[in-house]
Chain A
Amino acid sequence: MDDIFGIPAPLLFGQLLLGLINGAFYALLSLGLAVIFGMLNVINFAHGAQFMMGAFVAWMLLEYAGLNYWWALILAPLLVGVFGVILERTMIARLYKLDHLYGLLLTFGLGLIIEGIFRNQYGSSGLPYRIPPQLSGAWDLGFMYMPVYRGWVVAVAVVMCIGTWLVIEKTKIGSYLRASTENAALVQAFGINVPRLMTLTYGAGVALAAFAGVLAAPIYSVNPQMGSNLIIIVFAVVVIGGMGSILGSVITGFGLGIIEGLTKVFYPEASATVIFVVMAIVLLARPAGLFGRA
């Protein structure tokens, strides 16, 4: 088989595909962050903890209620979304008029507290959660052995990203949302309940994080720090894509997944840092991000 830059082609294809799969997680998570920032102007640092909650709720549903993965895929985002709504109503809503920094600090603290509670209750080494039988097994692609479940993750992530984008760009409720970010007072004057819109947006963003958490449960260790491991990368993705840009964060998520995947072949030690190198370059060249409005 041919070599590309000294790496056997099948290995390179495999890594590109894996990069795409990881990119799907980045895209899903940064999508929720971008929605929340775009509409609420809050940098939601509790996003990682909410992602982790999604995975834990999936585990709890199975453990305590006997509800399988498919139920979890629907129920966990709903439950965690409701939790997000409560957070927004009781705490975050009070900070909209203040600087971004306050929302960031509050959600950062909330994230740490949530993580701490789960760590106290369930320890740090994680809980077992199995791939649903319908999605276990794998396809032999010739150049690699592709687990069915990973294919499912990419497909679902793409559908969710397109769906979210359509809701915001093409529906009436999306137009209300976009209008209220531009001028909330004016939209309110037209008789639209802007605070409720904000609450629902936050709930939806959190639900997206939890949804990604359920998707991650069968393949990553379900442990309290699973979110904080990912969230820093996801923030970099959002910054590179342009804060608040939905399309930007989705494209950047997939793109950076691939860049990271390639780094894992050529220089594995740098695979945790390559995204931040890209972030630094983008910030210097285009401070508003690749798809952001300056």
Chain B
Amino acid sequence: MSIQRRTLLSAAAAAPLAGGLSRKARAQANTIKIGVLTDMSGPYRDLAGPGSLRAVQMAVQESGITGRGVTVEIVSADHQNRPDVGSTVARQWFDRDGVDAIIDVPTSSVALAVNGVTREKNKVFLNSGAAASDLTGSACSPNTIHWTYDTWMLASSTGGAMVRAGGQSWFFVTADYAFGHALERDTSEFVRNAGGRVVGSVRTPFPGTTDFSAFLLQAQASRAQVIGLANAGGDTINTIKQAAEFGITRGGRTKLAGLLVFITDVHSLGLQTAQGLVLTETYYWDLNDKMRGVATRMNLPNGAKPSMVQAGCYSAVLHYLKAVGDMGVAAAKASGIEAVNKMKAMPTEDDAFGAGSIRADGRKIHPAYLLEVKQPSESRGAWDYYKLLSTTAADQAFRPLAQGGCALVR
């Protein structure tokens, strides 16, 4: 009850007309507005897109917050993987439409732009889809939480496994934008620290590259033992497909390291082409009963299973609404920093990622799973794709707090 009285009071104070409290103003004061900003039309649509929106809707339902008199409105938009579009939408949402929190935002270049806008407007940014570890490093913000995964985690898990298996010399095929650069940087550092060498890299234009064979031949000519694919989505699919076609890995001397491969990519490649690939995810629908439950309840079209990005949207919104419920709608709307601080102060707990926490630099931590793609004969059918190789504990999976160079930590 106290929550309601407080919100009523603040709404009254904010009401522009002396005539009293309009119904609309009262409703707005008790409404949390969540904006799902994602790729609805491009290469990341399947791993985020409408599935992320669905995940957010499910989180709102399961949070139970609507039963306590709070209204949650969800809006969504397509950022077309363009930073200018993404930041324009974010500004409109914050300035005109009264959005309190932006969720998802795959594509690191767009995420970094939205990160800046959110901080300027003192709102909340819960990133699930983007990978660049800069979001909790040089670009960290008191308004941002980086939820699902990042380039450092991928480098350490997949990259680490490849180095341990004897891959000492690396060549990178890197998507030429913020994400690819971050992934190459983090993996290179990891390879060097583990005693390996980076013999070269090639930057491929993004978006717009469909033929990777030219880059693969350069990688092959470098005689590196591992070709690290610092790209994602359709780029990764094309690269793996064409590597098989050009016999890049024949003879077993050269290995491909898919540094960021989502389950939707494996689905698209087919097991015949993808089998044996080693990759890292933080959520796989078939790991345990709780994770299976998330996939069942999310019930995506055509029997698709949630990607870790979509699971991350679910988990992030669930936790955000928990914090909102605790601190009150008015306080959560008034200051994005306070809302994020509240989220950091509470331990996280949900079916998709289990127990976890959020660090001072905005990094959400949980275990990471090193997985291997099954052979066609081992799979029971569509979406039964992974074997678990090993699990990295939450406190080991992500970059140590002191190493990120985040200004919030110093």
Chain A interface residues toward B at CB < 8 A? 8, 10-11, 14-15, 18-19, 21-22, 116, 119, 123-128, 130-131, 138, 144-145, 147, 149-150, 219-221, 223, 225-226, 229-230, 232, 261, 264-265, 268-273
Contacts and interface: CB of A to CB of B under 8 A. Distances in A.
B217 A15 contact: yes
Interface in B204-230: 204-205, 207-211, 213-215, 217-218, 221
Nearest to A127: B268
A269 B211 contact: no
Contacts of B272: 128, 130
Interface in B153-184: 176
A145 B249 CA distance: 11
B202 A268 contact: yes
10 contacts: A18-B217, A125-B265, A126-B268, A221-B268, A225-B42, A230-B210, A264-B214, A265-B218, A268-B205, A273-B205
Interface string B235-266: 00110011001110010000000000000110
A123 B45 contact: yes
Interface in B21-68: 41-47, 49
B234 A125 contact: yes
A226 B208 CA distance: 9
Nearest to B222: A11
A229 to B, nearest CB: 5
Given A126-B268, A145-B246, A221-B234, A268 B49 contact: no
Interface residues of B, number: 44
Given A128-B269, A145-B246, A271-B205, A221 B221 contact: no
Given A147-B245, A221-B238, A124 B217 contact: no
B192 interface: no
Contacts of B46: 123-125
Given A145-B247, A225-B42, A268 B215 contact: yes
A21 B210 CA distance: 13
Given A123-B45, A223-B268, 11 more contacts: A11-B217, A18-B211, A124-B44, A125-B234, A125-B265, A128-B270, A130-B270, A219-B241, A229-B208, A229-B210, A268-B204
A272 B209 contact: yes
B245 A131 contact: yes
B203 interface: yes
Given A265-B214, A272-B208, A126 B237 contact: yes
Residue from B207, B238, B264, B302 having most chain A Cβ neighbours under 10 A: B238
Nearest to B202: A268
Contact of A219 (B45, B47, B242, B250): B242
B233 interface: yes
Contact of B237 (A11, A125, A229, A268): A125
A142 to B, nearest CB: 13
A119 B78 CA distance: 14
A8 B221 contact: yes
The 6 closest A-B pairs by CB, nearest first: A128-B270, A272-B205, A124-B45, A125-B46, A264-B214, A123-B46
Contacts of B273: 128, 130
A18 B269 CA distance: 22
B265 A15 contact: no
A32 to B, nearest CB: 18
Contacts of B264: 123, 125
Given A11-B218, A225-B42, A125 B245 contact: no
Nearest to A270: B205
Nearest to A19: B214
Nearest to B245: A147
B106 to A, nearest CB: 12
A119 B41 contact: yes
Contacts of B42: 124, 225
A221 B237 contact: yes
Contacts of B304: 123
Contact of A128 (B47, B205, B268): B268
A140 B202 CA distance: 24
A31 to B, nearest CB: 19
